[in-house]
Structure 1
């Protein structure tokens, strides 16, 4: 159960940037809290020279990109606290390192210090606001705290640790049990063994390294599925199937609306063109009629005459019998185009969302099938042991 928090370290006017950084780093690497700095790890810097290296990247940025503003953030601190008694300091430091690496994408130097002075083990992660190469700064986006907690949850699930239970999970426990109910049942975060799907022959051929990779890969897939379902309020396999099926129907309905408007827009454009063509060729066609539909005149003005005839055919298709004005047609076309543009964006979004749900559904089906296979193997083994016991008696 890892709780996370992202804190900005601002430059205090009464102190230098170096003093502000040193004060933060000294607290984080306190020997009493880290057992003589036993549980400290770094990336892109050395623990002994971290302040100077942070300042060097900052100097490169200031010289080549821009000077700092008044409320400048010189570094960021992540606090990650674990459930008491659930993790060792070594493992906590390893998870903290992975969290910092994924959150900063390896672009910023950082230090991870694991404190053991409290009843709960916790990490203090300090990373430079300026990238290692001094070319960019970390942008603290609106949902950065949520993104941080999600990465932390994934890491906890990958390492068989509990995560903070949300209201969603509490609601699930209050509902009636279903066959594939999540929460603390079939897919409980403490029952991870059934996910490790390594074929015997492949394991023998690839060795221990492949086995470790396959186990970690399956745990990551499971973590992603669980978090995806929680984010979208899906509490059972049946609900997921129902959701994906309803999404398909909604997409089809929206697609039909878009197609109908496209047809209406095409007819509108044809009518606009017919009105323009009719107006431009009217005098030519009048002359053609006055000269008794002369073949010679037709040969000289074939294009104009045919455009005029085509326009008249389109006019005959107008159900009301009365031609609308060009302004009305253009306004109608603009309205159809605006609505279709909005609906098409929604259509693209729904298609992408549907794809994400289908991927989650497929992954979940694979996980559930693996669980069933494990249960069948256990039942078969139990039955075999019982048979041997009866034979011996």
Structure 2
């Protein structure tokens, strides 16, 4: 159950960037806290020269991009704290390294300092504010802390550790809320009320078959997705999935309707233009009492005229609208179609997430039933052997 926090480290008053970094890192790399330096790991820098190597990227950035600012951010710290007794210091350091790599995408040098001097083992992860190539600075974006926590939760679930259940905005009450945890440890799956107690024990044949069919990372993402949506049962998940299926079909029908109106409008616009161009030719053809030779010479134009008349008859208009009115209508319906399409694409994305979660839970239930059947068969065979 790892709690995370992202903090910006600023240049200290009256000190240089290097001095400010050194004073910060002196605390993090304390030998008494990091098992004589054994609980320190780094990326794109050596643990003995972290400050110097951070400064190489910074100097390049300040020379080519921007001068040092008064309140310069010199680095960022991720504090990752684990539940007491749930993890070893060595494993915590390993997961801290993985968290930093996923969060920075390998673009920023970092160092992971794991402290084991307290009951709750925790990491101080420091990554450079300037990228390795010295071309850009890290920009702390809105809700970056939530993204960081989600990445940390995924890593914890993938490694059999519990995570903190996030607050449900709709149902959460400050006075009555209780913090809950869930995990997938040693093949055990726990999630709120619905899948709590659904256990895949041991590492025998049943577990191997499960592992082949089901990816632990995908399971972790599914559990976090259900938690974020405040879904506590398979029935509730299926209800939401079915609702989104219905809404998706409604939007698809509306899109088809808008497309039909646009096609009809465009067709009518073209017919009006064709009619205006070919009307004089048709009048001449009529004046010549529908002469065959004249028709053969102007068959293309006369066919366009006849097709335009047919479209007018099918349009349902008693009085044809002006081309300007049709174009205005086309533009309005086109905007409506774009709005519906945007809503449809967003819903389709959400629908896929719900559908994947539903299929994953169905797989869990199927495997659970299969496990029960195996257990029943095993008991039955044992009873017969005794007889």
User: TM class by shorter-chain length?
Assistant: 0.7 to 0.9
Q: CA deviation at 1:145?
A: 0.7
In the other structure, the counterpart of 2:272 is 275
Counterpart CA distance in 2 for 1:361 and 1:197 is: 26
Aligned counterpart for 2:337 among listed residues 332, 337, 340: 340
Q: CA deviation at 1:248?
A: 2.0
Give the 5 Å matches for 1:308-347.
308-347=305-344
The question of whether the paired residues in 2 share the 8 Å contact of 1:2 and 1:164 is answered with: yes
Kindly provide the CA deviation profile for residues 181-239 of structure 1, in whole angstroms up to 9, marking residues without a partner as x: 93166346xx7745968679x89xxxxxxx9xx59x84323211100111223211122
**Aligned pair in 2 of structure 1 residues 300, 182: CA closer, same or farther (>3 Å)?**
same
After alignment, is 337-346 or 138-147 more displaced? 138-147
**Aligned pair in 2 of structure 1 residues 385, 317: CA closer, same or farther (>3 Å)?**
closer
The question of whether the paired residues in 2 share the 8 Å contact of 1:75 and 1:129 is answered with: yes
In the other structure, the counterpart of 1:143 is 143
Counterpart CA distance in 1 for 2:235 and 2:137 is: 45
Which residues of structure 1 form unaligned runs of 5+? 174-179, 204-210
2:191 maps to 1:182? yes
In the other structure, the counterpart of 2:22 is 22
The question of whether the paired residues in 2 share the 8 Å contact of 1:251 and 1:350 is answered with: yes
Counterpart CA distance in 1 for 2:383 and 2:89 is: 44
In the other structure, the counterpart of 2:97 is 97
Q: CA deviation at 1:335?
A: 0.9
Counterpart CA distance in 2 for 1:387 and 1:198 is: 23
Give the secondary structure class of the aligned counterpart of 1:120.
coil
Give the 5 Å matches for 1:1-12.
1-12=1-12
Counterpart CA distance in 2 for 1:219 and 1:368 is: 16
In the other structure, the counterpart of 1:256 is 253
Counterpart CA distance in 1 for 2:265 and 2:194 is: 58
The question of whether the paired residues in 1 share the 8 Å contact of 2:200 and 2:368 is answered with: no
Which residues of structure 2 form unaligned runs of 5+? 179-188
In the other structure, the counterpart of 2:126 is 126
The question of whether the paired residues in 2 share the 8 Å contact of 1:181 and 1:236 is answered with: no
Aligned counterpart for 1:230 among listed residues 227, 231, 251: 227
After alignment, is 357-366 or 326-335 more displaced? 357-366
The question of whether the paired residues in 2 share the 8 Å contact of 1:278 and 1:308 is answered with: yes
Structure with the higher fraction of residues in helix conformation: 1
**Aligned pair in 2 of structure 1 residues 110, 255: CA closer, same or farther (>3 Å)?**
same
Give the secondary structure class of the aligned counterpart of 2:315.
coil
Give the secondary structure class of the aligned counterpart of 1:84.
coil
Counterpart CA distance in 2 for 1:67 and 1:298 is: 80
Counterpart CA distance in 2 for 1:70 and 1:269 is: 61
The question of whether the paired residues in 1 share the 8 Å contact of 2:265 and 2:330 is answered with: yes
Counterpart CA distance in 2 for 1:192 and 1:377 is: 14
Counterpart CA distance in 2 for 1:380 and 1:302 is: 82
| TM-score between the two structures when normalised by the length of structure 1 | 0.83
**Aligned pair in 2 of structure 1 residues 274, 6: CA closer, same or farther (>3 Å)?**
same
Give the secondary structure class of the aligned counterpart of 1:130.
coil
Give the secondary structure class of the aligned counterpart of 1:62.
helix
Give the secondary structure class of the aligned counterpart of 2:42.
strand
What is the alpha-carbon root mean square deviation over aligned residues? 3.1
**Aligned pair in 2 of structure 1 residues 378, 61: CA closer, same or farther (>3 Å)?**
farther
Aligned counterpart for 2:360 among listed residues 355, 360, 363: 363
In the other structure, the counterpart of 1:56 is 56
**Aligned pair in 2 of structure 1 residues 251, 197: CA closer, same or farther (>3 Å)?**
farther
Kindly provide the CA deviation profile for residues 243-267 of structure 1, in whole angstroms up to 9, marking residues without a partner as x: 2222222211111111111111111
Counterpart CA distance in 2 for 1:266 and 1:185 is: 49
In the other structure, the counterpart of 1:206 is none
Give the secondary structure class of the aligned counterpart of 1:167.
coil
